[in-house]
Amino acid sequence: MIYKNYPMVSRVIFGRGSFNQLDEILASKRKGRNAPFIFYVDDVFKGNHWLTSRIPLSYKDKIIYIPTEEEPKTSQIDKLVEDIILEFSELPSGIIGIGGGIVMDIAKAVSLMLTNPGESKDYQGWDLIKNPAIYHVGVPTISGTGAEVSRTTILTGPDRKLGINSDYTPFDQVVLDPELTKGVPKDQWFYTGMDCFVHCVESLDGTFLNAFSQSYGEKAFELCKEIFLSDTLTEEESQDKLMMASWHGGMSIAYSQVGVAHAMSYGLSYLLGIKHGIGNCIVFDHLEEYYPEGVAMFKQMKEKHNIELPQGICAELHDDQIDIMVNVALSLEPLWENALGKNWKTKITREKLTTLYKKM
Ligand code: NAD
Ligand code: ZN
Say how many Å lie between the CA of residue 99 and the centre of ligand 1. Answer: 7
- Does 146 sit in the ligand 1 pocket, CB within 6 Å? yes
168 part of a folded domain: yes
In the listed set 149, 181, 213, which residue is the last one of a domain according to the structure?
Answer: 181
CATH of the domain at 88: 3.40.50.1970
- Mean pLDDT (whole number) for 150-168: 93
* CA 108 to ligand 1: nearest atom: 41
Stated as kind and residue range, the H or E segment containing 286 is: none
- Mean pLDDT (whole number) for 296-317: 97
- Mean pLDDT (whole number) for 202-207: 98
In the listed set 163, 181, 199, which residue is the last one of a domain according to the structure?
Answer: 181
Task: Provide the pLDDT for residue 267.
Answer: 95
51 part of a folded domain: yes
63 part of a folded domain: yes
Tell whether 74 and 139 lie within a shared domain.
Answer: yes
- Does 147 sit in the ligand 1 pocket, CB within 6 Å? yes
- Mean pLDDT (whole number) for 135-159: 96
Whether 159 shows a pLDDT value over 90: the answer reads: no
Determine the 3-state secondary structure of 298 from DSSP. helix
- Does 239 sit in the ligand 1 pocket, CB within 6 Å? no
Tell whether 252 and 224 lie within a shared domain.
Answer: yes
Q: What is the pLDDT of residues 182-191, one digit of tens each?
A: 999 999 999 9
Pocket test for ligand 1, best of 105, 239, 278, 335 (most atoms within 8 A of CB): 105
Q: Which residues on neighbouring strands pair with residue 40, listed in sequence order?
A: 64, 97
Tell whether 33 and 136 lie within a shared domain.
Answer: yes
Q: How many domains is the chain partitioned into structurally?
A: 2
Tell whether 173 and 300 lie within a shared domain.
Answer: no
Whether 262 shows a pLDDT value over 90: the answer reads: yes
Tell whether 275 and 351 lie within a shared domain.
Answer: yes
**pLDDT band per the 50, 70, 90 thresholds, residue 164:** very high
Interior angle at CA 166, CA 212 and CA 26, nearest 5: 95
Whether 34 shows a pLDDT value over 90: the answer reads: yes
4 part of a folded domain: no
Whether 210 shows a pLDDT value over 90: the answer reads: yes
**What is the torsional sign of CA 158, 159, 161, 163?**
negative
In the listed set 112, 147, 181, which residue is the last one of a domain according to the structure?
Answer: 181
303 part of a folded domain: yes
- Does 97 sit in the ligand 1 pocket, CB within 6 Å? no
Say how many Å lie between the CA of residue 100 and the centre of ligand 1. Answer: 3
- Does 35 sit in the ligand 1 pocket, CB within 6 Å? no
Whether 161 shows a pLDDT value over 90: the answer reads: no
Tell whether 162 and 245 lie within a shared domain.
Answer: no
ipTM for the assembly: 0.99
DSSP letters, 311-336, are: --TTTT--HHHHHHHHHHHHH-HHHH
Q: What separation in angstroms does the CA of 315 have from each of 76, 233, 252, 351? A: 31, 40, 35, 16
Structural domain including 48 reads: 11-181
CATH of the domain at 273: 1.20.1090.10
Q: How high does pLDDT run on average in the chain?
A: 97
- Mean pLDDT (whole number) for 54-72: 97
For residue 196, what is the DSSP state?
H
Give CA–CA dist 308/321, Å, rounded: 25
264 part of a folded domain: yes
Q: What is the pLDDT of residues 93-124, one digit of tens each?
A: 999 999 999 999 999 999 999 999 999 999 99
The number of CA neighbours under 13 Å toward the Cβ of 257 is 19
- Does 243 sit in the ligand 1 pocket, CB within 6 Å? no
Task: Provide the pLDDT for residue 246.
Answer: 98
Helix residue ranges per DSSP H, the chain: 22-27, 49-52, 74-87, 101-113, 186-204, 211-229, 235-254, 260-272, 276-284, 292-304, 319-331, 333-340, 350-359
Tell whether 158 and 211 lie within a shared domain.
Answer: no
Give the number of whichever ligand sits closest to the CA of residue 197: 2
**What is the torsional sign of CA 118, 123, 129, 133?**
positive
**pLDDT band per the 50, 70, 90 thresholds, residue 1:** confident
Q: What is the pLDDT of residues 17-26, one digit of tens each?
A: 999 999 999 9
**What is the torsional sign of CA 36, 41, 45, 47?**
positive
Whether 160 shows a pLDDT value over 90: the answer reads: no
Whether 13 shows a pLDDT value over 90: the answer reads: yes
Q: What is the dihedral of CA 179, 183, 187, 189, to 10 degrees?
A: -10
